[in-house]
């Protein structure tokens, strides 16, 4: 029972903050954030269960994908974050996630997922992870400063508590061992939330009237809008997400078996179920999930190598998602605190990206590929999306996303420029 609870808390920690971040980006009301959190819990629970049952069949947590968080942020900027424009952006994102799911399922059925692994060399993976942290760090910092939801100026008191949360998560994860390190994010969020409630005299919308029982709503943002502009985004995203499967299977199998040991069958099954999970994410209006390589650290920390507690915890999270009265309390976590905890967790992610970039000696070829990909990818992040307004919709959605452009450039240069 204790192992199931530990798994459940780990699943919860990876699922609870993203809805608050997305809610802040799209200026959602408290009740909307609560319902998004409900759907996220359901999506994460069913995604983990399906992967453990039908997919790669390893105890790997599926959580909201960082790549999709950045895509949500890009759509909010380029299309709109509130009102009719915000709804249109969210409906387009539903379609993008469903289409990405179709591509991932096709990769699995046609058994080509395992064959494209060679595209994601350490250099390409390093460029992707580093650009991802660049893109999301700005979003997380805005949240830490209390910007958004009508705030135009930095909120010093909110940022101070966010900075305490950020520092606490880092200190616990770096200098401590055991359960303190394993639950650093959850502890940081709890302390930050408590400080927010005690020190800041701010009115928060209460959700005391949340229903006791209610099933997650399908297409809560409206019916998906299928537009040709999302097709290239969905295809590129599907290819890039294959690297998440590779990284997760490598890290987890290494912890469980003592060596990197997985086959193309697991890769293809994992891709197919990841596609199913993307379809579920789009249908239930949430942020699409991917296998998280960080699960390997949890396994190594706790020594819980058995799959059955993981499956029970996944089922428990699905059950909890049907009780909004419980989720309503979690939805009141202040946005600066949630953003701070996530930014702290991305420190390790950027470190992984840098280790991949410098895994081999830097020669003229590697330096050129890295710098060209990083310069063009990160440079596009600083250009206002409205600058691309006159371009065709398809081109605009692709070129305004520096993460996708930089990663594609790295893949192309890595293949064309032979060693």
3-state DSSP of 192-225: HHHHHHHHCCCCCCCCCCCCCCCCCCCCCCCCCC
CA distance 360 to 126: 12
| Residue 116 clears pLDDT 80, i.e. is over it | no
Select from 128, 112, 411, 386 the least CA-distant residue to 265: 112
Structure confidence at residue 370 (pLDDT):
96
Residue 27, both tokens = 């200026």
Structure confidence at residue 414 (pLDDT):
93
For 107-131, what is the mean pLDDT? 85
CB 19 within 8 A of CB 33: yes
pLDDT-derived band at 302 (thresholds 50, 70, 90) equals low
pLDDT-derived band at 78 (thresholds 50, 70, 90) equals confident
CA distance 296 to 298: 5
Comparing 259 with 102, the larger pLDDT belongs to 102
Structure confidence at residue 236 (pLDDT):
84
Residue 265, both tokens = 């069958």
Structure confidence at residue 165 (pLDDT):
93
For 302-311, what is the mean pLDDT? 84
Q: Which of 96-105, 133-142, 185-194, 199-208 has the highest mean pLDDT?
A: 96-105
CB 199 within 8 A of CB 157: yes
Q: How many CA atoms lie within 13 A of 392 on its CB side?
A: 7
pLDDT-derived band at 150 (thresholds 50, 70, 90) equals low
Comparing 286 with 169, the larger pLDDT belongs to 286
CA distance 6 to 360: 37
Share of the chain above pLDDT 70, in %: 94
| Residue 206 clears pLDDT 60, i.e. is over it | no
Strand, coil or helix: what is 344?
A: helix
Strand, coil or helix: what is 56?
A: coil
CB 62 within 8 A of CB 243: no
Least confident of 11-20, 101-110, 359-368: 11-20
Domain ranges of the chain: 2-158+202-416
pLDDT digits (tens, 9 = 90+) for 328-377: 877 678 889 888 887 887 777 788 788 889 888 999 999 999 999 999 99
Q: Which of 204-208, 281-285, 395-399 has the highest mean pLDDT?
A: 281-285
| Residue 13 clears pLDDT 70, i.e. is over it | yes
Structure confidence at residue 377 (pLDDT):
93
| Residue 205 clears pLDDT 60, i.e. is over it | no
Structure confidence at residue 50 (pLDDT):
97
CB 389 within 8 A of CB 357: no
| Residue 286 clears pLDDT 90, i.e. is over it | yes
Share of the chain above pLDDT 90, in %: 40
| Residue 327 clears pLDDT 90, i.e. is over it | no
Structure confidence at residue 173 (pLDDT):
81
Q: Which of 191-200, 225-234, 366-375 has the highest mean pLDDT?
A: 366-375
Q: What is the DSSP letter of 148?
A: B
Least confident of 42-51, 79-88, 116-125: 116-125
Select from 96, 7, 20 the least CA-distant residue to 282: 96
CB 295 within 8 A of CB 248: yes
CA distance 275 to 281: 10
Helix (H), strand (E) at residue 291: strand 289-291
CA distance 63 to 247: 14
Q: What are φ and ψ of residue 189, in 5° steps?
A: -65, -40
Comparing 94 with 82, the larger pLDDT belongs to 94
CA dihedral 292, 294, 295, 299 (to 10 degrees): 170
CA distance 355 to 359: 6
Long-range (24+ apart) CB contacts under 8 A made by 241-244 are: 241/65, 241/67, 241/100, 241/104, 241/274, 241/290, 242/104, 242/107, 242/113, 242/116, 242/117, 242/120, 242/271, 243/120, 243/124, 243/125, 243/128, 244/65, 244/290, 244/291, 244/292, 244/293
Arithmetic mean of pLDDT over the chain: 86
pLDDT-derived band at 284 (thresholds 50, 70, 90) equals very high
Structure confidence at residue 268 (pLDDT):
94
| Residue 201 clears pLDDT 70, i.e. is over it | no
Total Cβ atoms within 10 A of residue 78? 20
Structure confidence at residue 223 (pLDDT):
96
| 367 torsion bin: left (phi>0), alpha (psi -120 to 50), beta (else) | alpha
């Amino acid at each position: 029972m204790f192992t199931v609870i530990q798994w459940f808390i780990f699943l919860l920690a990876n699922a609870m903050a993203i809805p608050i971040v997305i809610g802040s980006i799209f200026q959602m009301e408290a009740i909307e954030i609560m319902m998004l959190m409900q759907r996220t819990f359901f999506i994460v629970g069913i995604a983990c269960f399906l992967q453990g049952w039908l997919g790669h069949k390893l105890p790997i947590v599926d959580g909201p994908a960082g790549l999709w968080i950045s895509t949500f942020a890009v759509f909010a900027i380029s299309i709109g974050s509130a009102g009719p424009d915000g709804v249109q952006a969210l409906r387009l994102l539903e379609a993008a996630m469903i289409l990405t799911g179709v591509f991932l399922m096709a990769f699995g059925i046609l058994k080509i997922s395992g064959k494209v692994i060679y595209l994601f060399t350490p250099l390409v993976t390093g460029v992707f992870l580093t650009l991802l942290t660049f893109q999301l760090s700005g979003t997380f910092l805005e949240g830490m400063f209390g910007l958004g939801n009508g705030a135009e100026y930095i909120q010093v008191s909110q940022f101070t508590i966010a900075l305490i949360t950020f520092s606490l998560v880092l200190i616990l994860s770096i200098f401590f061992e055991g359960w303190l390190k394993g639950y650093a994010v959850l502890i940081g969020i709890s302390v930050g939330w408590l400080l927010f409630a005690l020190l800041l005299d701010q009115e928060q919308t209460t959700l005391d009237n949340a229903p006791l029982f209610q099933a997650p709503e399908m297409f809560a943002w409206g019916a998906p809008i299928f537009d040709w502009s999302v097709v290239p985004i969905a295809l590129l995203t599907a290819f890039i997400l294959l690297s998440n499967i590779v990284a997760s299977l490598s890290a987890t199998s290494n912890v469980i078996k003592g060596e990197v040991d997985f086959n193309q069958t697991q890769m293809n099954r994992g891709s197919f179920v990841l596609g199913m999970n993307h379809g579920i994410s789009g249908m239930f209006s949430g942020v699409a999930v991917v296998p998280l390589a960080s699960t390997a650290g949890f396994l190594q920390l706790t020594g819980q190598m058995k799959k059955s507690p993981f499956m029970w915890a996944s089922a428990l999270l699905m059950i909890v998602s049907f009780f909004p009265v419980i989720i309503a309390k979690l939805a009141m976590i202040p946005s600066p605190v949630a953003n701070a905890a996530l930014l702290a967790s991305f420190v390790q992610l950027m470190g992984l990206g840098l280790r991949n970039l410098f895994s081999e000696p830097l020669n003229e070829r590697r330096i050129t590929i890295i710098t060209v990909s990083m310069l063009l990818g990160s440079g596009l992040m600083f250009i206002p999306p409205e600058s691309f307004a006159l371009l065709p919709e398809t081109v605009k959605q692709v070129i305004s996303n520096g993460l996708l452009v930089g990663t594609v450039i790295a893949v192309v240069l890595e293949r064309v420029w032979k060693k």
